[in-house]
Amino acid sequence: MVTLPGQAPPVVLVSGIEATLPPSALQLGDGGVAPRPASLLARPGEATTPGGVRILVRPQGAKLDFPSGAELLITPSLRICLRDGSQTLPPLGRLRLALADGTLLEFEPDGVGKRPLRAVRLIHGSTRATIWPPSRTAVDANYQRSAGAQSDLLVLGDGRAIYRPVPLGPMLVLRAVLRPRDDERWPAARIVVFGDPLSASLQRLPGHLPPQPVQFPQAPEAARRLSALAPSLFAGVVVRKASAVGPLVLPLVEGWHLGIELAAGSDRLTLGLLRSDANVPAVEWVVGDAGTELHLVRPDGGGENGPRYFMKGLPLAELRTMLPWIPTLDDLRWARAELVRQGAR
């Protein structure tokens, strides 16, 4: 994992990650887990995750101890508390915490006053362990986690930073719901742009176009050049410094940059790939309610009321699997406001 120095950057672009998004790709610490995973251990009222996080459940609530030394306390009403007094509001329904070692913790409240938790479960790979109440302790070694949208909170930082993920196309906007008061390493918000799906879509672009288009004859050659350039455009980590001002732009290689724009008074969100000596992007990824599509931009950019794009867009269907979380309307409004605050215009 790359460690980002100094004040935490608000925007990062990451590439070269696995198909299943590892928490380390978010550039917000290792989640406080041990680097060498072990086996999941579960007993009545307690468990140790493969990353060494120890969970202890009692009638008064639950306590998580991380190898980093961090602690989380969870009340019967499902408030998450830190030792410095910081705490979350109780959620509606159950609480799901995704740890950095791949373990998912599920806490189910009783729903009546301060009565003990109704159930606590751990899921890791194909194993699901119920550790509370003690009388119902059970381990299912052939559990299949349901695919599709999730509502997990991410446990990042050193184990004390809890973020709500808000997907926006090929980006994940992370909203802090809990973090230490005296630790500036974990920002209130982080925008993560994923370069791998952008690169993959560019490499598929030549096959999306007709071989000899009449209206835009240079399109196939432009697509082939972008396809060949894609792996070097999106490689490693690119950061936007906290001190940066102006439009939200991320510098790439060979004079290219990625600009993020959010039209005023509109839900139209685009990521444009542009050379520093050009006025019109070569391509744009357009994020809409139905998904994200890659478009090849016409040389005139749609001037004089002409069409801006050549042909229909190329869908990035893999984003639904890569970023499976369900954002609320409030989260989406917040995420768009955060993009504007960082310079998306």
For 138-166, what is the mean pLDDT? Answer: 87
Q: Mean of the pLDDT values across residues 201-227? A: 91
Residue entry with tokens 């004079």: 255
Which residues have C-beta within 8 Å of that of residue 274, sequence separation ≥ 6?
A: 256, 257, 258, 259, 280, 281, 282
Cβ distance 48 to 40 under 8 Å? Answer: yes
Amino acid identity at 161: A
Q: Is the pLDDT of residue 305 over 80?
A: no
Contact 325, 151 (CB under 8 A): yes
Question: What tokens does 109 get?
Answer: 């409240």
**Residue 22 confidence (pLDDT) above 90:** no
Confidence of residue 2 (pLDDT cuts 50, 70, 90): very low
Q: Residue 259, CB half-sphere, CA atoms under 13 Å: how many?
A: 20
Q: For position 242, what pLDDT does the model report?
A: 85
Express each pLDDT in 158-213 by its tens digit: 999 999 999 999 999 999 999 999 888 899 999 999 999 999 999 999 999 888 88
Closest to 83 in 3D by CA, of 95, 65, 105: 65
270 and 258 Cβ atoms separated by less than 8 Å = no
DSSP, residue by residue, 85-123: S-BPPPPSS-EEEE-TTS-EEEEE--SSTTPPPSEEEEE
When mean pLDDT is compared across 103-117, 122-136, 156-170, the lowest value belongs to 103-117
pLDDT digits (tens, 9 = 90+) for 163-177: 999 999 999 999 999
Q: What is the pLDDT at residue 4?
A: 45
pLDDT 10s digits, 271-293? 999 999 999 999 999 998 889 99
